Amino acid sequence: MSEQEQSRTEVIRLYVDGYIKQNVAAKRMGLSARQVRRLAKAYRLHGVKGLIHGNRGKASNRKIRDEIRLRALSLVREFYYDFGPTFAAEKLLEKHGINISSETLRQWMMSDGIWKPKGKKKEQNHPMRERRPRMGELVQVDGTPHDWFEGRSGKCTLIVFIDDATSTLLDLQFYPTEGTQGYMEGLRRCMKAYGRPVALYSDRHSSLTVNAADAVSGEQLTQFGRALKTLDIEHIKANSPQAKGRVERANKTLQDRLLKEMRLQGISNIEEGNAFLATYMEQHNRKFAVLPAYDEDAHRPVLHDDEELDLIFSKHHKRKLSKNLALQYNNTIYQVNIKGIGYAMRGTTITICEAFDNTVTLLYQGKPLEYSTFKRGEKVPDPVSEKGINQAVEQALMKQSQRTNYKPKIDHPWRKSINQKRTFLSGRKEDISTLR
Burial classification of residue 32, based on how many CB atoms lie within 10 Å of its CB (0-12 exposed, 13-18 middle, 19 or more buried): exposed
pLDDT digits (tens, 9 = 90+) for 354-383: 999 999 999 998 889 999 988 765 555 566
Instruction: Name beta bridge partners: 175.
Output: 157
Q: Which comes out higher in pLDDT, residue 436 or 203?
A: 203
For the beta carbon of residue 382, count every other beta carbon within 10 angstroms: 6
Q: Which comes out higher in pLDDT, residue 432 or 25?
A: 25
pLDDT digits (tens, 9 = 90+) for 315-349: 999 999 998 889 999 888 999 988 776 778 888 99
Confidence of residue 429 (pLDDT cuts 50, 70, 90): very low
Instruction: Tell me which fold the domain 138-288 belongs to.
Output: Nucleotidyltransferase; domain 5 (3.30.420)
Whole-prediction pTM: 0.68
pLDDT of residue 416: 42
Q: Say yes or no to pLDDT of 213 above 60.
A: no
pLDDT digits (tens, 9 = 90+) for 178-206: 989 999 999 999 999 999 999 998 888 77
Q: Return all residues near 51 (Cβ < 8 A) that are at least 6 apart.
A: 1, 5, 8, 9, 12, 39, 42, 43
Q: Return all residues near 149 (Cβ < 8 A) that are at least 6 apart.
A: 156, 262, 267, 268, 269, 273
Q: Return all residues near 338 (Cβ < 8 A) that are at least 6 apart.
A: 325, 345, 369, 370
pLDDT of residue 157: 94
Query: Cα 29 from chain centroid?
Result: 56
pLDDT digits (tens, 9 = 90+) for 94-110: 999 999 999 999 998 98
- Which helix (H) or strand (E) segment is 272 a member of? helix 270-288
For helices 3-16 and 33-46, the axis angle rounded to 10 degrees is 90
| Nearest in space to 149 (alpha carbons), one of 169, 184, 176 | 176
Q: Average per-residue pLDDT in the chain?
A: 83
For the beta carbon of residue 244, count every other beta carbon within 10 angstroms: 24
pLDDT of residue 408: 62
